[in-house]
A = this chain, B = another copy of it.
Amino acid sequence: MDRIVGYKLRRAQLSVFQDFLRTFAGMNLRPAEFSVLALIAAHPGRKQTEIAEQLGIKRANFVALMDDLERRGLAERRKGATDRRSHSLHLTEEGIRFVDMMAAVWREHEERMIARLGGEEERDRLIELLDRLTGTPDESTD
């Protein structure tokens, strides 16, 4: 199993997520919730469907995740003014404070991952290779 890309990827991903979950145990935050909150913070008012698609989260899972963030008082859906079927996503006041804390705690975790890799150059190299595998449209490999 030493050279198998999918296997090695999965092991590394589980290891990084384990560190993430330990780091965020006190804040009761899972990686998908982190990503959604970070994206809403960066793009308040963006449509639910766009954020789900950008993160590659299936519709049903995304709805459940947003229900939970609403229940916790961190984020909210607002109906579109023109298209009432489309929801735009926003942080609440409490959500904004939560995301500030989250960013500080996250930095700790990320520094540990960069240290494991051997520095920021290695991190950049890894991300470049991962983007090739994912085939992100903004990272052409030719």
B129, A117: Cβ atoms closer than 8 Å:
yes
A27 contacts the other chain (Cβ, under 8 Å)?
no
Residues of B within 8 A of A124 (CB): 3
A1 CB contacts on chain B under 8 angstroms: 35, 38-39
Q: For A6, what are the chain B residues with a Cβ–Cβ distance below 8 Å?
A: 13, 16-17, 20, 31, 109, 113
Q: How many copies does the complex hold?
A: 2
Interface range for A? 35 or more
When chains A and B are docked, how far (Å) is the Cα of A4 from the Cα of B37? 14
Asked if A15 is at the interface (CB within 8 A of a chain B CB), the reply is yes
State whether the Cβ of A123 lies closer than 8 Å to any Cβ in chain B.
yes
Cβ of A8 under 8 Å from chain B: yes
